[in-house]
Amino acid sequence: MPAPLLATPPGQLICLDHGHVDELQALLAANVAYYLLATGAPATEGEALREMDSRPPDTMPYEAVWKLGWRGEDGRLLGFAQVIAGLLAPLVWHIGFFLVRPDCQHQGVGRAFHSALLDWMRAQGARWIRLGVIVGNARGEDFWQRCGYREARRRENVTMGRLKHTIRTLVLLPEGDSLAEYLRQVPRDHPGSD
């Protein structure tokens, strides 16, 4: 078993690969409510393999993609995140997907996972961290706001599975930075840009 990227009780941040597909599939399939909200259908068979192989579109430059897991002290995979380094600009890292087992929500698991993720990304050189959250995903919107993320813009009519959504692009700024400084680096995230 590979060494964790970061071990911080109550869990370990680990790098996932194709050897973790079955474990990841179980985690994704358990999140029925999220998939119904996001795509209009439960996670399909093969969803984990698609997640492991997914990359940003060719129109979005990036440096590297990691598939990361949060393993609990009991050995179970409790969370999954896709992290993209250098997305759209140097020092901009993106959390492309972040999910925690439903039976672990409201127990601090998401906060611990996110905290470890932040520590690891910053140690790798991340300055700004961005992500998207579906408008109407009250749990997600509330979670990211409590973690200190600020809205940069909204994108309308984003297709996810069978559904179209408005997506809020959120950014976590380093202390002392302004949203204007971030937007100079990532013009795509200006409100009203294409």
What is the band of 2 on the pLDDT scale with cuts at 50, 70, 90?
Answer: low
Q: 102-116 pLDDT, tens per residue?
A: 998 888 999 999 999
- Domains (ranges, CATH) in the chain? 11-187 (3.40.630.30)
pLDDT tens profile 41-53: 999 999 999 999 9
Residue 58 burial (CB count, 10 A)? 6
pLDDT one-digit tens code per residue, 66-78: 999 999 989 999 9
Query: What is the chain's mean pLDDT, rounded?
Result: 94
Closest C-alpha to 132, from 188, 77, 178? 188
For 158, the token pair is: 């984003």
Nearest-angstrom CA–CA distance, 78 and 69: 7
Q: What is the arithmetic mean of pLDDT over 157-185? A: 96
pTM of the model: 0.94
Contacts made by residues 172-176, CB under 8 angstroms, sequence distance 24+: 172/118, 172/128, 172/129, 172/130, 172/147, 172/148, 173/128, 174/127, 174/128
What pLDDT was estimated at residue 193? Answer: 80
Average pLDDT over residues 57-65: 95
Per-residue confidence (pLDDT) for residue 5, from 0 to 100: 78
